[in-house]
């Protein structure tokens, strides 16, 4: 491998894309993320068109989420133990095979719910192993000075997939079938696997002297040792449960009662993705001196869209607030990922990232289930949303008062 691939200064015009390894990976991963955006719609209609009920659809989706979360910690250990690139290749292969089998069942008209549940769970097993491995691979193929730009580009590809994927899937489902969209999604995982296979990095030194349990304990110790890491993980877990979950669950209710119904809610979700996309050029150049402070303030910005839904305001004001929220999520994700990659040693990054992910999303299912029930118990969505906005403001004040938040620098 040419030493300039990882050590030489990249051309400023192209940033991390000047690195051949990152360029290859980014092309394949971007296509895969577009397929993921398409898959969310395709799975829903595949289950329903195959005779499944709304409960069956919930079961299939819940099975996928559960499989993903359960595999994150194992994914971090395996990636740090045996090498990130190899784990990503196996993960993409598993996702390709399971999604192709799912598509085949739907296209042939023989798709029982249990089979769709199993195959969707297997696909998410692959994602659970892929995610922490990717967090460890990026520093191996991008110079440290370009890590934030690389993470911005990866976040941009994800946001484009979130916005464009469902729209493309909706068009293809109308003109073809859910099975066809699932087959296309399977193909995107194959493209991703080929791109990962083309990435050239030095042979990985396998770490087999310790047991997997010891590796897991070592990752947890590092995650807990640096206060700002576990504190931010816990904060984001509460954000997901107390703000983002009510936004997803109660937002459609507010849209139906006080805005223009499903069409307006579709606009809100689209603008959320657009806000993230528009923030990318700023993040390509911005290097905050106090990154954790910026992360906390980015979370605080979500009090604005939550308050707009609580009032509720007219659609243009809500859309503007959600645009800010989307940009804030992009800021959080890009800076947080870069901070972990620069502050955690290379041999531990996949495991620490997996603990962060598990903690960050551990309360989400509870928030999603509880939001509507609590709203019914307290007299409406507005009360829950106002409480969420107030919580965000108060928690921000507390966090900014902590030295562990203020003192971290890049």
pLDDT in tens, 58-101: 778 878 888 888 898 888 888 888 888 999 999 999 999 999 99
Query: Could you count the other beta carbons within 10 Å of the beta carbon of residue 219?
Result: 25
CB 33 within 8 A of CB 157: yes
Of 22-36, 46-60, 66-80, 98-112, where does mean pLDDT reach its minimum? 46-60
The residue among 256, 369, 241 whose CA lies nearest residue 312 is: 256
**Measured distance CA(148)–CA(142) in Å, rounded:** 10
pLDDT surpassing 70 at residue 278 = yes
On whether the pTM is more than 0.85, the answer is: no
pLDDT in tens, 162-204: 888 887 888 888 888 889 999 999 999 999 999 999 998 777 6
Question: Taking residues 205-223, what's their average pLDDT?
Answer: 78
pLDDT in tens, 289-336: 888 899 999 989 999 999 998 888 788 898 899 999 988 988 888 888
Give the pLDDT band of residue 155 (cuts 50, 70, 90): confident
CB 42 within 8 A of CB 173: yes
Query: Could you count the other beta carbons within 10 Å of the beta carbon of residue 104?
Result: 16
pLDDT surpassing 70 at residue 5 = no
pLDDT of residue 269: 77
pLDDT of residue 12: 56
- The structure tokens 């969505």 sit at 381
**Measured distance CA(193)–CA(340) in Å, rounded:** 25
pLDDT in tens, 371-410: 778 888 887 788 889 999 999 999 999 989 988 888 877 6
Query: Would you give the distance in Å from CA 302 to the centre of its chain?
Result: 17
- The structure tokens 């971007």 sit at 30
Give the pLDDT band of residue 262 (cuts 50, 70, 90): low
pLDDT of residue 129: 93
pLDDT in tens, 361-381: 878 777 877 777 888 888 778
Question: What per-residue string of b and e applies to 223-256 under the rule 16 or more CB within 10 Å gives b?
Answer: beebebbbbbbebbbbbbbbbbbbbebbbbbbbe
CB 48 within 8 A of CB 178: no
**Measured distance CA(204)–CA(206) in Å, rounded:** 6
pLDDT of residue 9: 47
The token pair that represents 87 in the structure block: 């784990």
Specify the higher pLDDT residue, 284 or 295.
295
Domains and CATH numbers, the chain: 3-209 (1.20.1250.20), 216-406 (1.20.1250.20)
DSSP 302: T
pLDDT of residue 8: 45
The residue among 45, 137, 140, 43 whose CA lies nearest residue 98 is: 43
The token pair that represents 359 in the structure block: 């903690």
CA distances from 52 to 44, 109, 180, 297 (A): 10, 13, 18, 43
pLDDT of residue 208: 57
pLDDT of residue 215: 84
Q: 13 by DSSP, 3-state: which? A: coil
- Alpha carbon dihedral 333, 338, 344, 349, in 10-degree steps, equals 60
Question: Taking residues 131-144, what's their average pLDDT?
Answer: 87
CB 215 within 8 A of CB 351: yes
**Measured distance CA(186)–CA(193) in Å, rounded:** 11
Question: Following DSSP, what letter does each residue of 351-383 receive, concatenated?
Answer: HHHHHHHHHHHTTHHHHHHHHHHHHHHHTSHHH
% the chain with pLDDT above 90: 26
pLDDT of residue 31: 95
The residue among 152, 143, 154 whose CA lies nearest residue 10 is: 143
Q: Describe the chain by its helix, strand, coil percentages, rounded to 5.
A: 85, 0, 15
Question: Taking residues 347-367, what's their average pLDDT?
Answer: 83
Query: Could you count the other beta carbons within 10 Å of the beta carbon of residue 168?
Result: 18
pLDDT of residue 87: 93
Question: Taking residues 213-227, what's their average pLDDT?
Answer: 87
Q: 11 by DSSP, 3-state: which? A: coil
pLDDT surpassing 50 at residue 212 = yes
**Measured distance CA(314)–CA(333) in Å, rounded:** 29
% the chain with pLDDT above 70: 93
Mean pLDDT of the chain: 85
Question: Taking residues 124-152, what's their average pLDDT?
Answer: 88
**Measured distance CA(310)–CA(251) in Å, rounded:** 9
Give the pLDDT band of residue 125 (cuts 50, 70, 90): very high
Query: Could you count the other beta carbons within 10 Å of the beta carbon of residue 47?
Result: 25
Helices and strands (H, E) in the chain, number of each type: 17, 0
């Amino acid at each position: 491998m040419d030493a300039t691939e990882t050590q030489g200064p990249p051309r400023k015009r192209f940033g991390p894309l000047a690195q051949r390894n990152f360029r290859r990976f980014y092309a394949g991963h971007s296509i895969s993320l577009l397929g993921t955006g398409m898959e969310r719609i395709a799975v829903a209609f595949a289950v329903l068109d195959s005779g499944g009920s709304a409960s069956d659809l919930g079961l299939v989706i819940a099975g996928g989420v559960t499989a993903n979360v359960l595999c994150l910690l194992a994914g971090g250990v395996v990636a740090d133990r045996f090498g990130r690139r190899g784990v990503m290749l196996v993960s993409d292969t598993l996702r390709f095979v399971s999604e192709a089998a799912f598509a085949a069942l739907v296209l042939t008209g023989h798709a029982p719910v249990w089979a769709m549940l199993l195959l969707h769970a297997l696909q998410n097993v692959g994602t659970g192993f892929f995610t922490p491995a990717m967090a460890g691979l990026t520093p191996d193929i991008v110079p440290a000075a370009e890590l934030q730009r690389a993470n911005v580009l990866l976040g941009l590809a994800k946001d484009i997939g979130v916005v464009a994927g469902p729209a493309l899937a909706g068009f293809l489902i109308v003109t073809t079938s859910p099975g066809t969209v699932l087959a296309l999604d399977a193909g995107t995982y194959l493209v991703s696997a080929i791109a990962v296979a083309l990435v050239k990095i030095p042979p990985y030194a396998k770490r087999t002297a310790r047991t997997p349990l010891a590796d897991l304990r070592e990752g947890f110790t590092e995650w807990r040792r640096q206060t700002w890491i576990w504190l931010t993980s816990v904060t984001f877990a509460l954000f997901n449960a107390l703000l983002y979950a009510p936004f997803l669950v109660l937002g459609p209710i507010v849209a139906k009662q006080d805005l223009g119904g499903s069409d307006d809610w579709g606009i809100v979700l689209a603008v959320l993705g657009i806000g993230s996309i528009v923030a990318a050029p700023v993040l390509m150049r911005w290097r905050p001196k106090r990154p954790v402070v910026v992360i906390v303030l980015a979370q605080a910005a979500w009090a604005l869209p939550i308050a707009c839904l609580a009032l509720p305001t007219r659609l243009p004001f809500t859309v503007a607030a959600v645009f800010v929220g989307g940009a804030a999520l992009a800021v959080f994700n890009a800076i947080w990922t870069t901070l972990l990659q620069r502050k955690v040693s290379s041999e531990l990054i996949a495991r620490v990232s997996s603990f962060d992910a598990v903690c960050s999303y551990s309360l989400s299912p509870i928030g999603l289930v509880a939001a509507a029930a609590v709203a019914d118990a307290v007299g409406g969505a507005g009360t829950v949303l106002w409480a969420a906005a107030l919580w965000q403001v108060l928690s921000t004040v507390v966090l900014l008062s902590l030295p562990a938040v203020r003192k971290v620098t890049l």
